């Protein structure tokens, strides 16, 4: 931020929700990413010989389809998880998961017309999708790593952002 002041701290240095009452409603969007690093043994066990398979299967069911649903549900409930997030009626939440080698790359794109942005919703959706993949594959290995969680871009509000 340009004024080097945290947005969720008031003049008495106490935590507070940002007042968006005077802000203008604009179109806002955000894209976030998380990467799940799967051990080779997990990839081999869940994909088998079907290289064209767009999802992986565990004993719990279709991993990516379940992760997409969980991530979408989480994005919609971000305000219930992060104390100072405003409740938003999301207009779009798209989660994509691509398995490339031993990496499941998750992107979560969220959009809304509102007075506040959706970065936290996109980050929450990507994270919960990653946690769901971990949960569904942990019976095969606990050597699964979730990483590279980041905001890729945001539009709307005071400024746009694109990760370098």
Token pair of 46 as six digits: 């869940």
| Token pair 């290289």 in the structure block, residue | 51
Token pair of 21 as six digits: 């009452």
Which among 122, 149, 121, 119 is positioned nearest to 134, based on CA atoms? 149
161 by Cβ neighbours in 10 Å (0-12 / 13-18 / 19+) ranks as middle
Catalytic annotation, pick one of 40, 49, 135, 143: 135
- 135 catalytic residue (yes or no): yes
Mapped onto helix, strand or coil, the DSSP state of residue 40 is helix
Under 8 Å between Cβ of 94 and 108: yes
Mapped onto helix, strand or coil, the DSSP state of residue 66 is helix
Distance CA 97, CA 137 (A): 15
Active site residues: 135
């Amino acid at each position: 931020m340009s004024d080097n002041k945290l947005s969720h701290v008031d003049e008495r240095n106490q935590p507070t929700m940002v007042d968006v009452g005077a802000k203008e409603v604009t179109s806002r969007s955000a894209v976030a990413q998380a990467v799940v690093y799967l051990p080779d043994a997990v990839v081999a066990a869940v994909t088998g010989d079907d290289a064209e398979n767009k999802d992986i299967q565990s004993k719990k069911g279709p991993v990516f389809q379940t992760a997409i649903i969980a991530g979408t549900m989480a994005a919609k409930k971000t305000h219930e998880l992060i104390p100072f997030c405003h409740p938003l009626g999301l207009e779009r939440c798209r989660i994509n998961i691509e398995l490339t080698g031993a990496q499941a790359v998750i992107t979560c794109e969220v959009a809304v017309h509102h007075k506040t942005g959706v970065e936290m919703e996109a980050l929450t959706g990507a994270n919960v999708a990653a946690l769901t993949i971990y949960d569904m594959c942990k019976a095969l290995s606990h050597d699964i790593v979730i990483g590279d969680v980041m905001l890729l871009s945001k539009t709307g509000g005071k400024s746009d952002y694109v990760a370098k």
